[in-house]
Amino acid sequence: MSVAMSDSIQTKGSIGATVQAARPVIEALVGYGLLLFAAFATMAPFLWMVSTSFKADPEVFQFPPSFVPQGLVWQNYLDVIYAPDTGRQLVNSLIFALGSTLSNLVFCSLAGFALARMQFRGKTFIFALVVGLLMVPAQSQIVPVFLIVQRIPFAGGNDWMGNGGTGLLNTYWGMILPTAATPFGIFLMRQFFSRIPIEYEESARLDGARPFTIFWRIILPLARPAMAVLGVLSFQSAWNEFIWPLILTNSRDMATLQIGLQLIQSGPDARWNVVMAMATLITVPIIVVFLFAQRYVIDGAVTSGVKG
């Protein structure tokens, strides 16, 4: 596969070169061929997921697995869509994922900007702390985070010491809190902000622009590719997040789509075609977000409207 990639790079690069006329064409064909091969290898499990979501019961267990379903069983999708809680779960998932994405975009870019482009006391320490927190395993944090969310002062009937009530349990705020700013995001933004040449902000600084103005008017527009990546990754991880919505809420009304998916794939005799139908539906929003964001990833620094 790595051979495929470097070959295609060669192909692309050689288009500008003036060699014989036929060579670029052949190279382009080889390049496309290898890309197509890589694409199929990459896509096969995804295709199988979609294909299984259309299969009738017996075909699901067929070995070797079939990639083209014998018929299209839309009932699997109807079973998912008409399940009583699906609508509610979709709303909850959207609130959770969009809330988490938005707060990551805001908080991580602010913090990343400070760490990359401002001078202040304790900078090295704070950066080390952020990278250090990256390395803390989430699974050992379940009980402490639950207790902290429950003890947020003044929330959910709590007093100023955080006692007496349920804190942020069973609220969207509580669900979003553990994912609202991540070391991953801060680190990512810091790395990208630090790559922007200093000349871009120097003139603004000489004009007496405040840090926020520099951040908002100069650095952020230049970092649109990085923001797009952060947006995709945050949305995706929140959308797929299972543990915090499970632990931090108690009622059916707060369940997300991932919890719904767990419910239908529960036990050794789950109906796998229905599970795959739901899994397929759940990936659609991420693909939409990805398609939307990848334009910024690639064209972020380009102001002209040329399309690829």
Partner 1 sequence: MASRSSATATGAFNQNLGAYLFLAPALLILFLSLLLPAVATIGMSLTDVSFLRPTTFVGLDNYLRLLSDGRFQQAVGNTTYYTLGVTLPTMVLGLLAAVALNRRFPFRIAFRTIFYLPVLTSLIAAAVVWVYLYEPYSGPMNGFLVSLGLPPQPWLQSPDLAMTALIIMAVWRDFGTAMIIYLAGLQDIPEEIYEAARLDGAGRLAILRRITVPMLSSVTFYLMIILIVQSFQVFGAIYVMTGGGPLGSTETIVFQMYQTAFGYTEFGYAAAMSTVLFFVILLFSIVGTKIMRRGEA
Partner 2 sequence: MSDKSLTLSRRELLLGVAASSLALGFAGVSSRAFGQDQQLVFWSQFAGSKRAAGEALETAFKAAHPERNLVSTLYAEPPQLNEKILTSINGNTAPDLFVQHWDYNLTYAAGDRMLDLGEALDVDMAALDPSLLAYGHINGAQYSIPMYGTSRGIGFNRAYVIEAGLDPEAPPTTWAEFRDWAIALTKRHESGLLERAGFSMFHNDLEAWEVFTLFLQGAGGTLLNEDLSAPTFAGPEGVKALTFLHGLLHEDKVTDLGFGLGPGGLASPFNSGRASMIIAGNYSTNNALRAGIEFDLAPIPKENGGYTSLVDPFCYAVPRDARNVEGAVEFIAFALTPEQQVAFAVESKNVPVLKSAQQDPAVQADPYLAKFVETASYAPAEAPAIPAFSRLVTIIARAVQEAMFNRTSVEDALAAAANEVQTILDRG
CA distance 159 to 266: 39
Q: Which stretch binds partner 2 (CB under 8 A): 61-69, 182-190, 197-205, 224-232?
A: 61-69
User: Does 23 interact with partner 1 (rule: CB under 8 A)?
Assistant: no
CA distance 45 to 274: 17
**Considering the complex, what minimum distance in angstroms separates the CB of residue 40 from partner 1?**
9
Q: Which stretch binds partner 2 (CB under 8 A): 112-120, 257-265, 287-295, 297-305?
A: 257-265
Size of the site for partner 1 (CB under 8 A): 108
Report the interhelical angle of 272-299 vs 257-264 (nearest 10°). 150
User: Does 152 interact with partner 2 (rule: CB under 8 A)?
Assistant: yes
Task: Show the CA angle centred on residue 104, arms to residues 101 and 108, nearest 5°.
Answer: 155
Contact yes or no for 112/189 (Cβ under 8 A): yes
Region of 66 (left: φ > 0; alpha: ψ -120 to 50; beta: rest) is beta
Taking residue 91's Cβ as centre, other Cβ atoms within 10 Å add up to 13
Which of 168, 218, 277, 282 is close enough to bind partner 2 by CB under 8 A? 168
Q: Which residues, at least 6 apart from 22, have a Cβ–Cβ distance to it below 8 Å? A: none
Which of 31, 99, 178, 225 is close enough to bind partner 2 by CB under 8 A? 99
Q: Which residues, at least 6 apart from 107, have a Cβ–Cβ distance to it below 8 Å? A: 180, 181, 185, 186
Phi then psi dihedrals of residue 185, to 5 deg = -65, -45
Q: Which position has the token pair 């267990």?
A: 61
**Considering the complex, what minimum distance in angstroms separates the CB of residue 290 from partner 1?**
6
Binding residues for partner 1 restricted to 202-261, rule: CB under 8 A:
210-212, 215, 222, 225-226, 228-229, 232-233, 236
* Binding-site string for partner 1 from residue 33 to residue 62, where x marks contact by CB under 8 A and - marks none: --x--xx-xxxxxx-xx--x----------
**Considering the complex, what minimum distance in angstroms separates the CB of residue 166 from partner 2?**
6
User: Does 166 interact with partner 2 (rule: CB under 8 A)?
Assistant: yes
Distance of CA 278 to the CA centre of its chain: 19
Residue whose CB is less far from partner 1, 45 or 84: 45
Q: What three-state secondary structure class fits 273?
A: helix
Which of 26, 70, 123, 250 is close enough to bind partner 1 by CB under 8 A? 123
Residue whose CB is less far from partner 2, 30 or 56: 56
Contact yes or no for 85/299 (Cβ under 8 A): no
Structure tokens at 89: 């779960």
**Considering the complex, what minimum distance in angstroms separates the CB of residue 126 from partner 1?**
7
Which of 39, 47, 91, 133 is close enough to bind partner 2 by CB under 8 A? 91
Binding residues for partner 1 restricted to 171-200, rule: CB under 8 A:
177-181, 183-184, 186-188, 191-192, 194-196
Task: Show the CA angle centred on residue 177, arms to residues 290 and 256, nearest 5°.
Answer: 60
Residue whose CB is less far from partner 2, 31 or 167: 167
Residues that bind partner 2 (CB under 8 A): 57-58, 60-63, 91, 94-95, 98-99, 102-103, 106, 142-143, 146-147, 150, 152-158, 165-174, 176, 243, 246-247, 250-252, 259, 262-272
